[in-house]
Amino acid sequence: MKLMVALFLTGVVGTALASPSADFQKQCTELLAQKGKAKEAQRLHALFKAHWEYSMREFPESATWRGYPGQNARWTDYSPESVDQRKDDTLSALKVVQSIDRAKLSVADQLNFDLFKRNLELERAGQQFPQHLLMISQMDGIQRSLASMLRMMPARKMSDYEDILARLRGTEKLVEQTTDLLNIGLKMRVTPPKICLRDLAEQVSKQITKDPMDSPLLRPFREIASTIPKDDQARLKREAIAAYREKAAPAFRRFHEFLANRYVPNCRESIGCSDLPNGRKWYQERIHAMTTTKLTAREIHQIGLREVKRIRAQMEKIKKQSGFKGSLTEFFKYLRTDKRFYYGKGTELLAGYRDISKRADPELIKLFGTLPRQPYGIRPVPAYIERSVTTAYYQPGSTTAGRPGYFYANTYNLTVRPKWEMEALTLHEAVPGHHLQLAIADELTGLPEFRKYGRYTVYVEGWALYAESLGEEMGFYTDPYSKFGQLTYEMWRAIRLVVDTGMHELGWSRQRAIDYFKANAGKTEHDIIVEIDRYIVWPGQALAYKMGELKVKELRAHAEKTLDDKFDIRLFHDEILRHGAVPLDILEAQVKTWLAHQAAK
């Protein structure tokens, strides 16, 4: 799964408002001048507030996600000038942090200080590499994010629809800025690998339809809220169609032509991050950002090999329990090909996921003391991207914005969507995985906003992978096939440690990575190819899952041993989740502090 919580790398110059950057620079200067005149905690929290407001104005798509008001009519400015200015903004924020005396803060604020400073340092480290030139791939870009953003925007009152129209009309500039950055990337030889972009142009063309109302871009106008008067509904639809015909469709046609005829044909043939300018250092920066560890690629590669060996031994045991007489490779083939393991209709697949999720919900109270109020739903992956995205992903909700979370399941080509993987996948994407963790974080009180919405991939994805392992305690994996599905998903994440580092550090070919995956997991070939291509365009991201899961399991084992019969799984899980997402070393420190308090009781 790719958690769909990344900032949309889109680029339209906003309306004539005061520059978020100029306002923030002024506030940073004032905070520096207040050193010695104001309490350190006051300056720290003033910086938190200023930086949050700057972030919401600078990245209005993120503001829409969070329910932050007043930004829904704009897109982020991704002009080269703005990219450069953001580097200065990060540096200014870091200078203010460095001027604050940590020793004069409370224990709680020392943690806030450490996390905020760490975030800025990670941002600075990433800014030395031209990530902004990789604006698009089969997994990222305006061909995916634009229609999704328009669909998730508030649509309850007239001003909401006016905001959607404003963004729709901004499509032309959005495409222009994206194309400009991609052209710069071509000149600098900073592009995604060509092999992964085979469906890219089609992702764009599928949004260009003869009837404008059939386009995913106009989805919000198909059924306008009944609170809008009929005359206004008709007007909004007319204006949406006009914006589509005059702005969006022509821009997407030009973009399709650019991708098909210029960009994709000229993208690089190599697949490894190490083949990009300063690529090995870039990959190590990605590893650090994604895992929050100081481990090297080669060290993680060895961890992956050990985990693959361990999980493969467990798979052999489950294969024997199922009564299958052949080899593990033959068992993989059986699971991939026997029709009993597959649904015939997409609606049946979605109904199966909904049944699993509703069986999971009442089991949560046994494992968690704190549960979120925010609901979630299950939707099919949009048709215009279904061929080139993974089996499922989660889109976070927002209590402030009045939006539920959504588990998106891929209904494309049902012969590669086996039933035996569905329990583990539901526990990962919905509950007790992504939805539970992110909804709890969304509802936290008493923390700075940046803490509530922190997205350390190793924590978020590590938790969701750990959540899969809770299935037996929740009454799932009662047949050997579903249990094998859970092991397949765990193996999948272990394989990532091997193939990601293999391709980006050790010089593995794409085919070698595919072959290694096929030899060690029961997933279908289509899924494996899509996964490998994902790892290629997102170097290091796939390492976070297993590294995070291993740490949570290690902490649980330590807590069980320390507390013995006084160990309470509900209290342990609440402790893991109550701080929001944090780096692994800080998570470990928090749990050990909690254990000391529990032992003292």
Measure the CA–CA gap between 207 and 212, rounded to whole angstroms: 9
Burial of 80-100, coded b for 16+ CB within 10 Å and e otherwise, reads eebbebbeebbebbbebbebb
Measure the CA–CA gap between 417 and 420, rounded to whole angstroms: 9
265 to each of 36, 180, 190, 259, 268, how far by Cα in Å?
58, 17, 14, 8, 9
Query: pLDDT tens digits for 6-45?
Result: 333 333 333 345 799 999 999 999 999 999 999 999 999 9
DSSP three-state, residue 35: strand
Residue 329 pLDDT: 93
Measure the CA–CA gap between 566 and 599, rounded to whole angstroms: 9
Measure the CA–CA gap between 575 and 402, rounded to whole angstroms: 27
Measure the CA–CA gap between 156 and 224, rounded to whole angstroms: 8
Measure the CA–CA gap between 544 and 562, rounded to whole angstroms: 27
Torsion of CA 519, 522, 524, 529, to 10 degrees: -50
Measure the CA–CA gap between 399 and 403, rounded to whole angstroms: 6
DSSP three-state, residue 193: strand
Q: Which tokens in the block code for residue 440?
A: 């709890």
Torsion of CA 145, 151, 153, 159, to 10 degrees: 130
Measure the CA–CA gap between 554 and 116, rounded to whole angstroms: 26
Residue 121 pLDDT: 97
Give the strand order in the sheet containing 376-380.
Answer: 376-380, 405-409, 392-395
DSSP three-state, residue 270: coil
Task: With beta carbons less than 8 A apart as the criterion, state whether 378 and 409 touch.
Answer: yes
Q: What is the pTM of this model?
A: 0.92
Q: How many CA atoms lie within 13 A of 322 on its CB side?
A: 24
Neighbours of 501 (CB within 10 A): 27
Low-confidence ranges of the chain (pLDDT < 70): 1-17
Sign of CA dihedral 561, 567, 573, 576: negative
Query: pLDDT tens digits for 562-601?
Result: 999 999 999 999 999 999 999 999 999 999 999 999 999 8
DSSP three-state, residue 430: coil
Pairing of strands 405-409, 392-395: antiparallel
- Length reported for the chain: 601
Measure the CA–CA gap between 536 and 542, rounded to whole angstroms: 10
One-letter identity of residue 25: Q
Task: With beta carbons less than 8 A apart as the criterion, state whether 535 and 497 touch.
Answer: no
Measure the CA–CA gap between 211 and 568, rounded to whole angstroms: 58
Measure the CA–CA gap between 576 and 581, rounded to whole angstroms: 9
What value, to the nearest 5°, has the Cα angle with vertex 201 and ends 15 and 215?
A: 60
Query: pLDDT tens digits for 94-145?
Result: 999 999 999 999 999 999 999 999 999 999 999 999 999 999 999 999 999 9
User: Which among 22, 129, 30 is positioned nearest to 85, based on CA atoms?
Assistant: 22
Neighbours of 387 (CB within 10 A): 18
Enumerate the β-bridge partners of residue 443: none
Q: How many CA atoms lie within 13 A of 107 on its CB side?
A: 2
Q: Please return the burial class of 318, using the count of CB atoms within 10 Å of its CB with bins 0-12, 13-18 and 19+.
A: buried
Q: Which tokens in the block code for residue 331?
A: 């068992």
* 3-class secondary structure per residue, 160-181: HHHHHHHHHHCHHHHHHHHHHH
Task: With beta carbons less than 8 A apart as the criterion, state whether 102 and 135 touch.
Answer: no
- Phi (first) and psi of residue 38, to 5 degrees: -125, 155
Burial of 31-55, coded b for 16+ CB within 10 Å and e otherwise, reads beebeeeeebbebbebbbebbbbbb
SS3 content of the chain, % helix, strand, coil (to 5): 65, 5, 30
Q: Which tokens in the block code for residue 316?
A: 């052999």
Measure the CA–CA gap between 598 and 1, rounded to whole angstroms: 35
Residues 6 or more apart whose CB falls under 8 angstroms from that of 189 comprise 268, 276, 277
Q: Which tokens in the block code for residue 93?
A: 């924020």
